[in-house]
Every structure is written in structure tokens, then in C-alpha cells.
Amino acid sequence: MKRPSSLLQTNSILAMLTVMIVMVVMVMVSGSFAAPPAPTDVVAEDLPADGGGAAMVTWTIPTGVDGLEGFQVWRTEAVSETTSRVGNERGAALLGVQNQAYQNEYQRLVGVEGVAPEDASMQARIVARQAVIDQRDSVTPTETGPHGRFWVLVDTVSADTDRLQVGKLSPSDEYRFMVYTVAKTADGGVAKSEASAETGMVLPAASGIDVKRLPLFFILLLLCGSVLFFIHWARSGRPITIRKIAGLSAVDEAVGRATEMGRPILFVPGIQDMDDLQTVAGITVLGRVAKTAAEYDARIEVPTSRSLVMSAARETVHSSYLAAGRTDAYNPDLIYYVTDEQFGYTAYASGLIVREKPAACFYMGCFFAESLILAETGNSVGAIQIAGTAMPSQLPFFVAACDYTLIGEEFFAASAYLSGEPDQLGSLKGQDMGKIIVGAVLIIGCLIATVAVITGSESLMHAVDWFKDSVLSA
Amino acid sequence: MNLIDRMANLDRRWIFLMMGLAVGIPIIVIGITGKTLPEEPTPLAQAAFDVLDGLEPGSRILMAWDFDPASEGELGPMATSFIRQCAQKGHRMYFIALWPVGAQMIRSSTSRVIGGYYPDLVYGKDWVDLGFKAGNEAVIKTIVTDFAQYFPTDARGTSVNAIPMMEGITSLADFDALVNASAGYPGSKEWVLYAATPLKKPLIIGCTGVQAPQMYPYVPNQVQGLLGAIKGAAEYESIVNNWVRSEQLLDALESGGITEPTSSELAARFAAAPSEAVTWTTEAAAASMSPEAKTKLIELATAPIPGIFLEAQRRMGPQLVAHLLMIGLIIAGNIVFFATRRRGGSQ
Amino acid sequence: MNRQQLTLLSIAGVFVILLVVRAFTGNGFGRIYVERGEAAFVKVEVPVLDAPDGNVESEGVRSMWVDASSDEAVDFAAAESPRAGWYSVKPVSPRVYFEATISDDALQAALSSPFESTIGSTDLGTALETWRLALLEKANAEAAVQAEPSVEINWKALHAAGFDRKTSITVTPGSDFKTSLGAIFDAAQAAGDSDADTTVVVADGRAIVTTTADDVVPAIGLSWPRTIGLWLAAIFTLAIFSFLYKDNPFYKIAESVVVGVSAAYWMVIGLWDMIVPNLLGQLFPGFVQGNLLPGLGTADPNWAYLVPAIFGALLLMRLAPKGQYLSLWTLAFIVGTTAALRMVAYIEGDFLSQIKATIEPLYQEVMNADGTVNGYSSFWASVRQITLLIGVLSCLTYFFFSVEHKGVVGKVARVGIWFLMITFGAAFGFTVMGRIALLAARFEFLFDDWLWLIDPTNQRSVAAAVGGLF
Amino acid sequence: MKRIVPLWITAIVGLVLIVSNFLPGTRSWGEEATTWFGIIAAVAFVLGGGSLLKVHLKKISDRNSGWAYSMIVLGTFSATLAIGLFKIGVAPNPSFPDVPWSGDVQGQGTPFWWVYEYVFKPLTATMFAMLAFYIASAAFRAFRAKNFEAVLLLGTAFIILLGRTFAGYFMTSWIPVDGPFSGLRLEELSVYIMQVFNTAGNRAIIIGIALGIAGTSLKIIMGLDRSYLGGGD
């Protein structure tokens, strides 16, 4: 629980190694009394069809061992590990030499020779540094272990296991493995066998295909396939039906009311540029609103926060008026760019609402914090408000303050429906297929899991676990 | 004009003023009295603490500070407490930022906590500031497999090869846990999708109130600890403060010769009720302790918690008053709405 | 201007005048204090103790810059070693400044108070230590626990000037501490030590006995740049808040400043944190290592990085009068990368993982500590799981666009919309919560850092004693 | 040419990045591409500054209304840029005092830091803090319980607002913690709402968005969706 001192931290690797060595030695000593037999036929192989960095170690469990506890799997160090271990060990040892020499010399100088402390420390440092230089070659790092190598403990496994998948290896280094048997001794202690024979060199290289990730690949293929299929379906002229979207039917009502009251309609296409899908969807909805407005002869005003959005909006509104046969009523000056600044734009738009008192306000696109300010101002002048956005954090405010809100995907669906483009409709349909799959998997999965718990059926539980761990998590 | 009409036409500046007072007055009161409201930790804050507490000292923790001054009010206290817990526990901290201003957030939180309260931590050995990198989720995606590709140097321009604690770090897989304080994009969602899910690493998230609801579905499979908004910060802060105090008390007790398990029990007891430490030192059980150790123990038990570790708990005061104001405003607004509507509307 | 506005303005005016008066009298609020010092470095040849790569042959001497006051500098620096230095500034809390002020006063008072200890025959070291402890005791009494004065003997300087700790002296102390110190050094000089001038200097809460008074300059003091900065920050904060009353030029100025500063800020960060180490460091490692990032290891140029360099240049074509379409190539790279990254990550991390998290047994068994089933908890855990599943399915139904919302589907979708409303209600609550915390943080800045009305971090607790602040 | 090259770039980069998820041999290609992406993202900051310069220079030369504010934008922009790019007043890195440009431009005490601490930070933080005021005014004037859905939304919001402060604890502290109705304590209730209802709703949204993103990404990589190239085909 406690934080180790900084010295301990420096040498934590060293300390760990020392403990290991002591353990190994202890085991060797105790092993001479009643050592269980070591596992035989220890074989290591690169794990096939993986992303690299993993190997499989297998062994034969020795028979007739009393109190068999499990097995310890060890591996050799990689070259880089050896280098850093040796470096650390030497560094720590030399630091120790230096500190010792400094202490000795300082005490001698101050205590025996009566040198002033400020001189003594300097002289002692010189001596200490010389001591390091003198003893540099005598400090050699430990390099011991069975088979003349240095080993690192990978893991301990239970008694009935005869294989271990070793991960987190470097795909570019070669490794050897060995296994110990661990068993209880008669006096209640734990004894470790002699080391097994070491395995051959294994290079845990990456293979051509990562099999573990194949389920993900097929699921992607399935989802993409259904989207592409329905795009193709729609392109070939076959009908795609989309359910009625409540917010859209309200458009007519809102525009109608604006005409009745003789007040304008305000349309805000969000504050992002055309590269945001929500802005694109917003402009599509604008097309529909403008068409209705042209038919009813209502005035529609569109302040934008980006100049590109302005051009797109003008184009769209123009073609809507064209479609309604009212090109004479189209006024491009009512669609204009204000400023890129978030709050500058908001201040302008809310000012506009207060001045012009529009009968209907549409907020369709990507919104951030300004959603709240706009919706509030619109509400205060008694406008019918219809919003559409996919920003999860802004939806609550629109829902609370507007009359209709196109929520998230509904907004995109509305855009697809209005645009009538086969690509948009097809991909919407494709996504719907994805949702059917989700629903089916959830219902079946939960039912099977419930049955498994209630009946206690092991095989069903395994099936559910397998599905969750292999298919659903790549 | 009756009351309803007056209210319906209320100038919004009066509401602004109410909000200003609702936040301002509690700050002054709490600032002068120094009293904070008690915190009952919820399971998610406790889980965040437990993940870091369960790791061995010396574990490698990636601390991703993805926020800016605009959200420091919510996330600053979380960052402070995260660092405090890791520093006290002895974890090695690696700071990175995906927001341009995040680099300053790293500097301010580390200088406040490590500089002020853990000066014995060594830069490059116990903590390292790797600074900001552009690329949003692409940064995460890359360092999942190759760390050095994006981070050739730390924020101070030192090659990572020359930083002792970077030894053995080749990818995100080499870390023991990820901690993220996030104010938006890129942030917690990206850490979940690009790092925690493929690597299956413990991820602790501290995020703003705006993001928090969207992070709940990831708990507990993809996110192990979640601190949402200032409330999450205050809960976690109080857990960490209590724990740090009991750790310090444990040290004092053990250096005074009290051994486990008595020492742990006592430390927990005194952390909860500091006054008991004073009475306990007069009892027979404490006879073996030296007078210096006793003084130290009493001092530790009764010393006030430094102000920077109470930031979130202080802010819960204005929060309480402002929440009540909000509820009052919504109810009042609806009363006005329904009253005017029943009379046929005033518009 | 009508009467109401006039009244408001006069109230605000009086308030402002009071603030300004309070700020600039005594040790008023809104000031930032710092400690100035010198950073000095020297380049020395230091023997290498440990070879990081474990290779004994690579050990030897390493040429490196070290702090001029470090052990290495003392041991290895020569007169001709290259040196460099600059001023360094460290912020301190106002409390440190106030404590130093109290300590300084206490030390000055103590120095001119009577010296009551006796010294007699001893060596110089002991005599000075006796004097030091006596002064410290006196000063502590004067400071009355509000501050902790300290007294130091600069042995390094004294030693260099020729004084020796071990010199035996006999001292007759003077009337006060100052004359007594003079008497000690007179005795040392009489005993054959150096005849250098000695003195005691008081600065920054410390009294230092040294040879040259010029070496000791007060380091803790007001920082004008930071104090002006703090006031500027406060003014900007208020300028933004002024928008709440009405749109006005102050707000517009503040808004323009933030636009200009943030764009430049991001540019600078992008350059120094990303383009220099990650792009130039790959293309021109030698130049970057030599001039900009000396800590970067040397390597050969990685010409593959010409690709992002070219893409980057193409992106900037958007600013050019002609050939703007070329920036679309870079845009295509950005869009392609994001699309591919998101496609896999969202399916793996969101789609599959969320399905996985939802597949749980609907009947949840909760065990008691003794291994029996807790019926009550099991019931609620199961309800919880069933509610969750119903919620997910019904919300998905609402977002299912191929079927009209009629009949059963319509009813399920209606349940879905209820779930969504509760979800949005939760988001509403959390968002409100977050916004308020941000406002609280700004108010704390105004009340704590600027106005010093509150002191939660205990930065100024002794201020009242000095300036009569409150 | 103007359209074909970008489409190919998108397709190739997209495919390489997707494939690198499944074929370990191509993983390094993916890493390379994402690293380049980061560099380009940094260049985008430069582009942002450049566009700002262009827009405001035009405003000034056209004498648009408020051009004086554009002067302020340009002035603060150039000053910050100069201070940062030329590392004005930045002391060298203490490990390399002989390399004058080695210093840390963001380090505490530098002029660039000053701009951050006393200009950038208070301004951006206060801009966001203003939202607390707006949300209060919207609460009074806009959030109406006009139908059952809105009642649900506001009711949940009340429970969260109360349950996440001391008020919730205070109001329902009379309900025993270990009794059968402990779940009705506001703080418990708010946890329950977050972990069940909110999780369910958001889970459906997340699944839907994931499908939408996969579909859109597919269309972009296949060249079916070209809206990013600007204005249709």
C-alpha cells in the first residue's frame, strides 16, 4: 500500500531480479529433498494466424505427483531486456560503490583530519568518482539460470493445464521456454521441480491473416454488403418505403401559419460547414421547407454561419422555387452569410428573431451551445419551432423548447426521404437491416442466456460466452 | 398588470442576476467559512478509485488530458485528484494531450500537485510530460501499436530514449491503465473506441456533464470508472482525500511501532474521525509510541486538507443553490405558461 | 441618459473607485508576487558512471551542461569552461511575500536588540553558531508565529575569504547582536584569520552573515507583468460578462481578441509540438537536432515523410489565388483516413461491444454472503436487466424507418420515445450541472485570484497582519 | 482529373487503413498513414490562421462594418504569432543552454505563456461560463411541460438535478438506507436512471450511430458520397 522510496523504485527491477534469483536458489536447495518431476515434452510454437507477438507452449503433465499445484512457465529474455537489465544492474552497483566511497572518505576527512565540511564534500566526491573508475570492471551483472540463460517468469497455471498461450512478446525477437512443476510437499510447503528441458527458438512472428479478427471482418462485410445491396436496389428503380416522420408533416402546418399571420419563416442550418453531414441534411430539409413556402407564398429567411453553406442554401432554395413555379418570388438576398463566430452568429440570429418575430423557426443542422439561446428566443416570440440535429448533448434543449424535434437518425432519415436519392435511401434501408440483426441477436442471446442460468446448462453457458468473447469482441 | 403578466414579461436580465447571485454568494460563504457539504461516493467514483488502487505501486498509467480552460472548472479538480492518487500510490504517470491547450492543462495540474505536494517525485522517473500531438483519434490509433512514431520527444524536447521511464514502452499495450479527462472531441469516446476496446485495458474517465450520459453505456465493460461532471469530481476527491490521509496516518503509526493489522484499522478510524486520534494517544495501546510519533500522528489527523484538494467539493455549494434555482425557474415558467394559456394566451 | 441609468452608473462608479483605492493602498489585492533568481550553467566533462547500454567500452567522459551550483560544476568546471545564464522567475504565493516581510521586520528588530548570551573562549564556528541560535530565538519571538525567520551563515564565502571554523578566539560580546557579530569577527581577525569585511544582510525573511553584502539582493517582490496580466484577465472576464446586460464594444473587443489569439495560439502549438519534432525532425534530423531540439536523437532523414509534407503544402493551396482544387487532395486524404478509422472502430467499439454488453441473462441471481440466493435483490436485478433490454429494443424500434409506426410497432416505438425522453432528461440535468460548474470557476477567479475576497487555498492568510487588508 | 485524383486518394487510404486491421503484415502501413494524418492536422492549424488573416484583411480593405474589430483580431493574431514563432523571451533548455532556440515556448513565465494565462484562458473560460446564465433564462422562458414526453424529460431532469447534489440526500434522507424503499432515495434514483434508462436509450442511439457511420464511411471510401469535394458532382 505504501509508496516505495525513490531508491527502491530505481532498483525495483534489480530487487525483483534478486528475489527471483533467491527463489530459484531456494527452490534448487529445497529441490534436493523432494523435488517433483519436471514436465516433459515441452514444446513451443509460434501461434499461427495471429497478429504476432504470441506463442503457444505445451507440455506433458508428469504422472503420479502428490499434491500437484500447477506449472510455472518461463521464457528467455529478449536482447533489449538483457541490455537494459545489465545496464540497470551495473548502474545501481556502481552508484552503490560511489555512495559508499563518498561516505567513508567524508567521515574520514571531517572526523579524523578535521577538514571543513565544505571542503570535505568536494574532496570526498573526487575519491568516490575515482573509486567508481577503479572498480568499474569488477562489477559484473548476474547472468545465471538453468541452461546458462536468464529467464523471466511468464505465468503460473493450474495443475490440469498442459498449455499456455504466451502473449506480449516482441514479434522480432526469438524466445525459448521452460516449465517447472510446482507441488505441495509433505510438510505443507511448496516445492518446485528441476527445470524442464528448454524449447527450441521461437520467433512469434505475425502471420498473413489475424484469425482472431476475422469475425469482425465478416460482420463489417455483412453490414457493408447490406448497405451496398440496398443502394443497388434503389438505383435500379425499385421502391424503398420510409415511415412517416412526424416532424416533417408539421412543416406544412408551420409554413401555413406563417402565411396566415403574414410573418416570415426563419431557417437556421446549424453552424458547421458543408463537410458536416448534418448541415447537408439540414439543407435538404430546407429544400422542402422552401418549396412549401413558395407554394404558400411565405417569406423565408436563411442566415448562415459559413459562406459555403450560403451558396448551397441559395442553390437549393432557388430550385425549390423553380419546382413550385414561383421563380419570380425567389429573393437571394434573404439567404446570406453572417459570421463564422459561434456567439456572433447566435447574437445576430436571436436579434433577428426578436426584431422580425418569425411565425416559424427551423433549426436543422449541427448545433452546439447556441441551440439553447436560439430555442429560447424563438419561444419567447411565440414561434412554432421545429428542430433537427444529431448532437446528443443539444437534443434535450430542442426537445424541451421546440414543438417538434427530429431526433438524431430521424433527421438523416427525413433528409433521405426528402432528397429521394437512391444512395441515401438505400443506405438508410441497409442500416435498418443492421438494426433487425441487432434486435434478433439481442432477443435470442438474452433468451438463451436466461435459459442457461435457469436450467444451469453448462453447454448453453459456454455457447453464450463463446459468442460474446469470440464473435462480438475481436 | 397582474403578477402573471409581470412574470411573463420579466426581463431576462433579472434571471441572469438571480443565477449570478445563486452561484456567487455560496462561493463567498464557503470561501470564508471553509465548510463544504458532505459527499456520499457513488459506485462509479469508487470504481475509478479502486482500479488505480488495485494496481501495484510503480504501475504505468497513461494520463490523457483532453480539455481546455473552458472546461477546467469541471475537469481541473478531477485531474488534480487523479494525480494525487497516482502520486501517493507510487504509480508512474505519463501525460499526453490531444487538445492543443491540453499541454497547458498538464503543466498546471502537475505543477500544482506534484510541484506542491510531491516534490520528491523525479521528472523522467516518476512522471513524464509528453505534451500535445495533433491528429485526434489518429494519435490514439497509432500509439496503440507504436508509441515512438508519434512521440519522439517529451514536451521539453528530450528524446524518449533518454527518459528512464520510457524504457520498455513500445505501445499503449505496455501501460497498466489509462486515465482520461475529457471535455469533448477528441476525448473519452475516442479513448474507448480506439484504445480501451481493442486493448482491453482498464480505462478511467473523468468527463464533463455534457458527455457523461453518453459514456454510461460503456460501463463496466469498456470503461471501468466514470466521473461525471463536478459531482463525480467531488465524490472522487473525497475518496482520495480520505485515503491519502489514512495512508499518511498508517505511515505515522507504523513508524511509531504499531503493526498490522491494528495500524490499518486505526488509520481508517482516525481518517474518518480525526478527534479519536487525540484521545487514542492517551490510551494504554499507544504507550509504545514515542511522544514525537504521537505529536506527528495528531498533527496528521487534525491538519486541514490543502485547499486545492477540496476544489470540487467547494463547488458543490454553488451547484446546490443553482440547481434549486433552475428547478424553481422551470416550475415558475410553466406556471406562467399554463396560466396565460388558460386565459386564452397573451401572444 | 435617464435617471435610472445614471443611478446605476454612479453605484458602479463608486464601487470601482473603492476597488482601485483598496488595490493600490498598502498590500492591496490583485497582485502577483515572484521570486527572481539567476539560472547559471556551465559545460563540464563528467565521467560516465553507468553505461545505459551495458557496454563497458562506451564508458568514459561525457561533455554536458550542468547547473553552476551543482556538485559536478564545483568539481569539474574550469575558468575557460563555457558558461551560460539568464534570469529565472518563480511565482510565490502572496503569503510567502507577506511572511518574508514579517520576518524581515522581526530580524531587523532582533539585530538591534541586546545580545544576552555569553561566548567567551571558543572557536569561530561555535561562536557564530551560538550567535546564530540566539538571534533566531529573538527573531522568532518578534515574529510571533506569523512567520518563520531564518538565520544563515554563508560559510562558503567566509571560508573563501580566509576564515576558518577551527580558529580559537576569545570574544567579549557587544551591546546588541550587530556589535556582537563585529566582535566575533574582530576576534577572528586578531587570531590571524582573514581581514576581509564581514556583514549581516536581511532579505527575503533571512538574515545572512557573509563577506560581500552585494551578493544578497532581495528576490521576492511584486511582478509587474503578471500583476498587469491578472488585472487584464479580470477586465476581460468582466467585458465578456457585460454582454449579459447588453451587446457593447467591450464585449466585441474581447471577442475579437479571443479570435485572434486562439488562431495564433493553435498555429504556434501545431508548429512547435507537431511539425518540428514529427515532420522536420524526420526530414532534416541534423538541422532540427542542432538548432531546435537538441534533445532529439540523431538519425538519417526519413524521406517517406515527404508525403505528408507535400499533402500539407497542398492543403495550404487553399489560401492561394489559383489551384485551390489541389487542397482537395489533402482533404481526400483526411476524409479517407477518418472514414476508415471510424468505420472499424465504431463497429468494433460501439456496435459489437454494446450488443455484447446487452446480452445478459434476464434472470439475475444475487447471492448473499453465505451463498444463498437473495430473493429481493435478485428480483430487482432482474427487473433492471429486463428494463434495460426493453429500453434498447424499443428505442431501436423508434429508429427503425422501414415500417410505419402503427399497431404493435407503434406502441413499442412509443415506449421507445419515453425511454429517449428519460435519456434526454438525464442529459439535460448533467448539462445544466456542467455549465454551472464553469461559472463557479470563473467567479472563484474573480473572488479569489483577483479581489482576494476569499482565500480557500490559504495563499494570503497572513496578509491581514501586514497590510490591514480587511 | 480534378475529381478523379481525390477519389482515388480517399479509396486507397481508406482501404489500406481497413485492411491493416486484419492483415498484420500491413499494420505498419496503417501506422504510417495515421502519423501523416497527424502532421496534416497540424498543418490545418496553419491553414486556420491563414484563412483568418485572409477574411479579416478583406474586411478591413472593404471597410466592412466593424472593420476596427478586424484590426484588433489581426493585431492580437500577429502579436501572439510573433511571440510564439520566434520564441520571444524564452530561456533555452537548461540541458542545452548554448542552443538559443531549444527553450520551451509554453513554459511558465514566457511571454507566450503570459498570453495564454492572462488572455486566452480568461476569455475562453468566461465565454463558456456565460452558458450558465442562458440556461437559467431558457429554464424560465422555454422549457414547457406541454405534453407527456416533455413532462418525462423535465421530471427526469429534476431528479438528476436534485439527486446529484446534497439537496437530494437531504430531501429523502428519511427513507431508510437498507429498507425495501431505499431505491426511492433521490441519490439512488438518479443512479438508477443513469444506469438503466439512460444506458438503454444511449445504447440504442450508439448502435444506430455506429451503423450510420459505417454506412457513410463505406460510401465515402467507395466514392459514392462526394459531398466533401463540395457541391455535388
Residue-by-residue DSSP string for chain D:
-TTHHHHHHHHHHHHHHHHTTT-GGGHHHHHHHHHHHHHHHHHHHHHHHHHHHHHHHHHHHTT-TTHHHHHHHHHHHHHHHHHHHTTTTPPPPTT-TT-GGGS-TTSTTSHHHHHIIIIIHHHHHHHHHHHHHHHHHHHHHT----SHHHHHHHHHHHHHHHHTSHHHHHHTTTS-TTSTTGGGSHHHHHHHIIIIIIHHHHHHHHHHHHHHHHHHHHHHHTTS--GGGSS--
* Residue of chain A with shortest Cα separation from D130: A369
**Which of B89, B122, B125 has the CB atom closest to A3's CB atom?**
B89
Q: Which of B160, B164, B132 is nearest to B146 (CA)?
A: B160
Mean pLDDT, residues A89-113 taken together: 85
- The pLDDT of residue A7 is above 50: no
Which one of A224, A235, A368, A393 makes the best mutation probe of the D interface by having the most chain D beta carbons within 10 Å? A224
Mean pLDDT, residues D186-207 taken together: 92
- The pLDDT of residue A19 is above 70: no
Residue C346 near chain D (CB below 8 Å) = yes
DSSP A456: T
- The pLDDT of residue D26 is above 90: no
> Among A246-255, C11-20, C323-332, which stretch is predicted with the lowest mean pLDDT?
C11-20
- The pLDDT of residue C215 is above 80: no
* Residue of chain D with shortest Cα separation from A313: D231
- The pLDDT of residue C458 is above 80: yes
Three-state secondary structure call for residue C202? strand
CA angle C443, C447, C449 (to 5 degrees): 105
Q: Provide the grid cell at B237.
A: 476527491
- Residues paired with A303 in a beta bridge: A336
Which one of B10, B98, B156, B319 makes the best mutation probe of the D interface by having the most chain D beta carbons within 10 Å? B156
* Residue of chain A with shortest Cα separation from C347: A220
Residue range B34-43, pLDDT digits in tens: 888 888 888 9
- Contacts for C400 with CB less than 8 Å, ≥ 6 apart: A432, A435, A436, C409, C413
Give the model's pLDDT for residue B344: 58
Residue range B281-302, pLDDT digits in tens: 888 777 778 888 888 888 888 8
Higher per-residue pLDDT: A23 or B113: B113
Chain-centroid distance, C-alpha A244: 36
Note whether A380 contacts D142, CB cutoff 8 Å: yes
| Most confident residue range from A53-57, A433-437, B167-171 | A433-437
- The pLDDT of residue A369 is above 90: no
Q: Rounded to 5 degrees, what are φ and ψ at D77?
A: -60, -50
Q: Which of A272, C340, C332, C276 is nearest to D43 (CA)?
A: C276
Domains and CATH numbers, chain A: 6-192 (2.60.40.10), 246-420 (3.40.50)
> Among A109-113, B305-309, C278-282, which stretch is predicted with the lowest mean pLDDT?
A109-113
Note whether C347 contacts A91, CB cutoff 8 Å: no
Q: Which fold has domain B43-239?
A: Rossmann fold (3.40.50)
Q: Which residues of A touch D216 (CB under 8 A)?
A: 277, 427
> Among B10-14, B315-319, C237-241, C390-394, which stretch is predicted with the lowest mean pLDDT?
B10-14
| Beta carbons of C65 and C122 less than 8 angstroms apart | no
Tell me the percentage of chain B whose pLDDT exceeds 70. Answer: 99
Q: Which residues of A touch D31 (CB under 8 A)?
A: none
Q: Work out the pLDDT band at A28, boundaries 50, 70, 90.
A: low
Neighbour order of strands in the sheet with A335-337: A335-337, A300-304, A265-268, A360-364, A384-389, A404-407
Note whether D22 contacts A209, CB cutoff 8 Å: yes
| Beta carbons of A71 and A179 less than 8 angstroms apart | yes
Mean pLDDT, residues C330-352 taken together: 93
Residue A393 near chain B (CB below 8 Å) = yes
- The pLDDT of residue D167 is above 60: yes
Residue range C96-123, pLDDT digits in tens: 998 998 999 999 999 999 988 888 888 8
Give the model's pLDDT for residue C310: 96
- Contacts for C403 with CB less than 8 Å, ≥ 6 apart: A243, C409
**Rounded Cα distance, C376 and B298, in Å:** 45
Q: Work out the pLDDT band at A22, boundaries 50, 70, 90.
A: low
Q: Look-up: residue for cell 419551432? A: A385
**Rounded Cα distance, C72 and C52, in Å:** 19
Q: Tell how strand A360-364 and strand A265-268 pair up.
A: parallel
Q: Which residues of D touch A399 (CB under 8 A)?
A: 149-150, 153
Q: Provide the grid cell at C64.
A: 554536458
Give the model's pLDDT for residue C235: 94
Residue C427 near chain B (CB below 8 Å) = yes
Q: Provide the grid cell at D111.
A: 511571454
Give the model's pLDDT for residue B346: 43
- Contacts for D206 with CB less than 8 Å, ≥ 6 apart: B214, B217, C350, C354
Mean pLDDT, residues C340-360 taken together: 94
Note whether D228 contacts C336, CB cutoff 8 Å: no
- The pLDDT of residue C469 is above 70: no
B 243-282 residues with CB below 8 A of D?
A: none
Q: Which residues of A touch D211 (CB under 8 A)?
A: 223, 431, 434-435
* Residue of chain D with shortest Cα separation from B111: D108
Q: Which residues of C touch D109 (CB under 8 A)?
A: 88-89, 91
Note whether A116 contacts C71, CB cutoff 8 Å: no
Residue range C150-206, pLDDT digits in tens: 999 988 888 888 888 888 888 888 888 999 999 998 888 888 878 888 889 999 999
Count CB atoms within 10 A of the CB of residue A156: 14
B 236-295 residues with CB below 8 A of A?
A: 247, 250-251
| Beta carbons of D95 and B158 less than 8 angstroms apart | yes
* Residue of chain C with shortest Cα separation from A468: C356
Contact partners for chain C, using 3 or more CB pairs closer than 8 A, are A, B, D
- Percent of chain B that is helix, strand, coil (3-state, to 5): 60, 10, 30
Residue range D77-95, pLDDT digits in tens: 999 999 999 999 999 988 8
- Cα–Cα distances in Å, from D82 out to A373, B132, C259, C292? 37, 20, 16, 17
Rounded to a whole number of angstroms, the distance between the first and last alpha carbons of chain B is 15
**Which of B158, B192, B209 has the CB atom closest to C433's CB atom?**
B209
Residue C359 near chain D (CB below 8 Å) = no
Mean pLDDT, residues B255-278 taken together: 82
Q: Mean pLDDT score of chain B, rounded to an integer? A: 91
Residue range D102-157, pLDDT digits in tens: 989 999 889 999 999 999 999 999 998 999 999 999 999 889 898 899 999 999 99
- The pLDDT of residue A4 is above 60: no
Give the model's pLDDT for residue C457: 86
Q: Work out the pLDDT band at C435, boundaries 50, 70, 90.
A: very high
Give the model's pLDDT for residue A8: 40
B 230-289 residues with CB below 8 A of C?
A: 230-231
Higher per-residue pLDDT: A177 or B179: B179
* Residue of chain D with shortest Cα separation from B333: D140
- The pLDDT of residue B245 is above 70: yes
- The pLDDT of residue A13 is above 70: no
CA–CA min distance D87, chain B (Å):
14
- The pLDDT of residue A5 is above 60: no
CA–CA min distance D69, chain B (Å):
23
Note whether D136 contacts B69, CB cutoff 8 Å: no
Note whether D48 contacts C263, CB cutoff 8 Å: yes
- The pLDDT of residue C463 is above 80: no
Extents of the domains making up chain C: 94-222, 254-301, 360-447
Give the model's pLDDT for residue B345: 47
Q: Which of C161, C145, C262, C263 is nearest to C213 (CA)?
A: C161
Three-state secondary structure call for residue B130? strand
Give the model's pLDDT for residue C467: 54
**Rounded Cα distance, B66 and B45, in Å:** 19
- Burial of D147 per CB tally in 10 Å (0-12, 13-18, 19+): exposed
Residue range A317-362, pLDDT digits in tens: 999 999 999 889 899 999 998 877 787 888 889 899 998 999 999 9
Three-state secondary structure call for residue B39? coil
Note whether A379 contacts D207, CB cutoff 8 Å: no
Concatenating the DSSP letter of every residue in B81-127 gives HHHHHHHHHT-EEEEEESSTTHHHHHHHHHIIIIIHH-TTSPBTTTE
* Residue of chain D with shortest Cα separation from A396: D153
Note whether A122 contacts C75, CB cutoff 8 Å: yes
Residue range B321-347, pLDDT digits in tens: 999 999 999 999 999 989 888 775 444
Note whether C159 contacts A118, CB cutoff 8 Å: yes
Give the model's pLDDT for residue B302: 85
**Rounded Cα distance, B212 and C428, in Å:** 11
**Rounded Cα distance, B104 and B62, in Å:** 17
ipTM for the predicted complex: 0.89
CA–CA min distance B44, chain C (Å):
15
> Among A151-155, A457-461, B60-64, C326-330, which stretch is predicted with the lowest mean pLDDT?
A151-155
Contact partners for chain D, using 3 or more CB pairs closer than 8 A, are A, B, C
Give the model's pLDDT for residue C468: 47
* Residue of chain A with shortest Cα separation from D150: A400
Q: Which of A263, A289, A245 is nearest to A410 (CA)?
A: A245
Task: State the count of interchain CB pairs (< 8 A) between C and D.
Answer: 428
Segments of C53-134 assigned E as strands = 61-67, 83-92, 120-123
Q: Which of A447, A454, B220, D199 is nearest to C365 (CA)?
A: A454
Q: Work out the pLDDT band at A274, boundaries 50, 70, 90.
A: confident
Q: Work out the pLDDT band at C60, boundaries 50, 70, 90.
A: low
Give the model's pLDDT for residue A228: 94
**Rounded Cα distance, C80 and A448, in Å:** 83
- The pLDDT of residue A9 is above 50: no
* Residue of chain B with shortest Cα separation from D104: B156
Mean pLDDT, residues B59-63 taken together: 96
Segments of chain B assigned E as strands = 60-66, 92-97, 127-132, 177-182, 203-207, 225-228
Note whether D230 contacts A308, CB cutoff 8 Å: yes
DSSP A48: T
**Rounded Cα distance, A84 and A89, in Å:** 8
Give the model's pLDDT for residue A25: 54
Mean pLDDT, residues A408-427 taken together: 89
Higher per-residue pLDDT: B89 or C3: B89
* Residue of chain A with shortest Cα separation from D128: A369
- The pLDDT of residue D196 is above 70: yes
Q: Which residues of C touch B132 (CB under 8 A)?
A: 269, 273-274
Q: Provide the grid cell at A403.
A: 414543438
**Rounded Cα distance, A429 and A441, in Å:** 19
CA–CA min distance B311, chain C (Å):
9
Helix axes B311-342, B12-33, angle to 10 degrees: 150
Three-state secondary structure call for residue A389? strand
Which one of D77, D106, D221 makes the best mutation probe of the C interface by having the most chain C beta carbons within 10 Å? D77
**Rounded Cα distance, B98 and B101, in Å:** 9
Q: Mean pLDDT score of chain C, rounded to an integer? A: 87
Residue C308 near chain B (CB below 8 Å) = no
